[in-house]
Amino acid sequence: MQRPLPTQKLIPLNTNQLNMIKKRESPIEIPADEFKKLGYQLIDSISDFIENVGEGSVTTGETPKQIQTLLGDEFLPENGTSVEELISKTSDLLFNHSLLNGHPKFFGYITSSPTPIGALADLLAAAVNPNVGANILSPMATAIEKQTVKWIAEFIGVSPNYGGILVSGGNMANFTAFLAARTAKAPKSLKTDGLGSISGEMVFYCAETTHTWVEKAAVLFGHGTKAIRWIPTDVDNKMDTTILFQTINEDLKAGKQPFLVIGNAGDVSTGVVDNLSAIASICKDRELWFHIDGAYGIPAAAIPQYKKLFDGIQEADSIALDPHKWLYAPLEAGCTLIKNPQHLLDTYSAHPVYYNFDKNTDEPSHNYYEYGFQNSRGFRALKIWMAFQQVGKSGYIEMINNDIELSKLLFQEAEKHLELEAVTQNLSITTLRYVPSDYSKEGNAGNKYLNELNEKLVNELQQGGKVFLSNAIVSEKYCLRCCIVNFRTSGKDILETIDIIVEEGRKVHDSLQLIL
């Protein structure tokens, strides 16, 4: 191709420039026919992986050192390698040396089996790669995220007028709301004057069972952990709202600035839902921001027979929930819902000169960078949006309800068993512990030996790979904790889990007896 060269000044193009005028060759590009071939192969192997995910162990139990050895410690490669080899090697590393939360006997912490459609959605999202920070950069993806947020609000049964934003998870969803609450309730403009301008210490309230994000928030956002008022729980493990009310009044009398109360809708240890309507009326009375941490549990509000348990959620100024928990989205997906989304704009919006995001439309653009921490943002909404449509509201209700039923089954079977003590059952979390037949099941709270035994049992089970569960301390009892956010778990898995726990419990007991 002949280019007209400038007449005034002759600047010759170098060879590289000339070549790139002909055709740019980028080493990272994969030619279409190869992309198809390798893509089909990868989809085939992912499909086999998903089909057989329940056949083997939940985890190989390999040590970090063994994993490091497998991976090798080569330096950054100087030159490229074949994509085919790379995909095959990487698939092997991940399929065969991961903890598989897609396994039907994975009940640990609160991570779900990922939806297969979510895997496809992530591939699609990555291929198009919209930057969902600004509407102009992601016209369709922004609209899909708005609809997804609206659907999430509709699903849990609050007004679809709640707005919000998708974030990376529960911590970020709670942080996003925390700062909106602070901006809204601070007596002065925090944006211009900062925390230092406020005379009374800003304090906030939550049950003592609240997730550790509140400590991170207190530290990161400049309050210090002394600003947290940990409210004791009552016999049902719910926040004691009488003490809450008293504490707020004492703080007011002492010249503090209470601004926020956090209610749990499914606390992280036992799944208890606080008395949300009582908290809501205290907040109304004292003009405090009412936030709900529903990271795990709030999707259960969609189920007609559990709706009552969540009375009061319509009153929340903000709600945090994790689609990567009980909506089974692949990591990562959290969501902040806000009754009046203007509070997010008040907190997060800024208009630098180098953003030309608002100019060319009649209506104001919905730019997600103004609603939260992130600027450039990935397309998290797609995996949630597609899954909602794949199964509908009814499909989700069925899956969540079945998780709860299975958790109840586990509790009942533990109750029946002579060597198991069923401790709590809320939503889809069951806590239980192994009690050897030479101990009685009752009256052993705080028993040092049983706590030691069950702690060791959790470790053995987590390493063993037959089932994966985590732990909780409930009324001084060290418990095994099974949280079922797993659409692959069946009743058979539950019965087998009982057997696995008892068998391993006996072994651990025997081994400890030898030491004693």
Ligand X SMILES: *Cc1c(COP(=O)(O)O)cnc(C)c1O
Residues within the interface to ligand X (CB under 6 A): 110, 169-171, 211, 213, 268, 293, 295-296, 322, 334
- Provide the minimum distance between the beta carbon of 486 and ligand X in the complex, in angstroms, as a whole number: 15
| Smaller CB separation from ligand X, 170 or 299 | 170
- Residue 247 amino acid letter: T
Q: How far is the CB of 274 from ligand X (least distance, A)?
A: 11
Tell me how far, at minimum, the Cβ of 331 lies from ligand X, in Å.
Answer: 8
Q: Cβ 509 to ligand X, closest distance in Å?
A: 31
Task: Report the C-alpha gap between 125 and 330 in whole angstroms.
Answer: 13
Q: Where are the beta strands (DSSP E) in 212-344?
A: 228-231, 257-264, 289-293, 318-321, 334-338
Choice between 332 and 460, CB closer to ligand X: 332
Query: How far is the C-alpha of 126 from the C-alpha of 468, rounded, in Å?
Result: 31
Q: Which is nearer to ligand X, 118 or 334 (CB)?
A: 334
- Nearest by Cα to 179 from 252, 264, 259: 259
Query: Smallest Cα–Cα separation from 112: which of 424, 456, 396?
Result: 396
Q: At closest approach, how far in Å is the CB of 112 from ligand X?
A: 11
Question: Least distance from C-beta 47 to ligand X, angstroms?
Answer: 28
**What dihedral angle (degrees, nearest 10) is formed by the CA atoms of 393, 399, 405, 407?**
-120
The β-bridge partners of 49 are none
Q: Which is nearer to ligand X, 207 or 461 (CB)?
A: 207
**What is the distance between the alpha carbons of residues 231 and 244, in angstroms, rounded to a whole number?**
6
d(CA 200, CA 222): 14
- For residue 238, the SS3 value is coil
Q: How far is the CB of 30 from ligand X (least distance, A)?
A: 33
| Residue 54 phi, psi dihedral angles, 5° rounding | -90, 0
Q: Which is nearer to ligand X, 325 or 417 (CB)?
A: 325
* Interatomic CA distance for residues 461 and 455, integer angstroms: 10
User: What is d(CA 23, CA 213) in angstroms, rounded to the nearest whole number?
Assistant: 52
Rounded to a whole number of angstroms, the minimum distance from the CB of residue 264 to ligand X is 6
CA 62-68-73 angle, to 5 degrees, is 165
Q: Nearest to ligand X by Cβ — which residue?
A: 170
309 versus 453: smaller Cβ distance to ligand X: 309
**Residue number, 156 or 420, with CB nearest to ligand X:** 156
211 vs 509, which CB is nearer to ligand X? 211
Give the nearest distance from C-beta 56 to ligand X in angstroms. 26
Q: Using CA atoms, how far apart are residues 107 and 468, in angstroms rounded to an integer?
A: 6
Nearer to ligand X, 295 or 384 (CB): 295
- Say whether 165 sits in a helix, a strand or coil: strand
Q: Whose CA is closest to 339, among 106, 180, 101?
A: 180
Per the CB < 8 A criterion, the answer to whether 241 and 232 are in contact is: no
Q: What is the smallest separation between the CB atom of 324 and ligand X, expressed in angstroms? A: 6
DSSP code at position 273: B
For 281-293, give the secondary structure using H, E and C: HHHHHHCCEEEEE
Min dist CB 334 to ligand X, Å, is 5
Rounded CA gap, 101 and 59, in Å?
9
Is 54 or 378 the residue whose CB approaches ligand X more closely?
A: 378
Looking at the chain, how many residues does it have? 516
**364 CB-near residues (< 8 Å, 6+ apart):** 358
Q: Is the Cβ of residue 102 or residue 169 nearer to ligand X in the bound state?
A: 169
Q: How far is the CB of 211 from ligand X (least distance, A)?
A: 3
Q: What distance in Å separates the CA atoms of residue 93 and residue 90, rounded to the nearest whole number?
A: 5
Residue closer to ligand X (CB basis): 217 or 480 = 217
Helix (H/G/I), strand (E/B), else coil: 75: coil
Spatial distance between the Cα atoms of 294 and 296, rounded to a whole number of angstroms: 5
Report the C-alpha gap between 335 and 388 in whole angstroms.
15
Min. distance of Cβ 510 from ligand X in angstroms? 35
Indicate the residue type of 425: Q
Order of strands across the sheet with 429-434? 420-426, 429-434, 477-483, 470-474
| Residue 291 or 339 having the CB closest to ligand X | 291
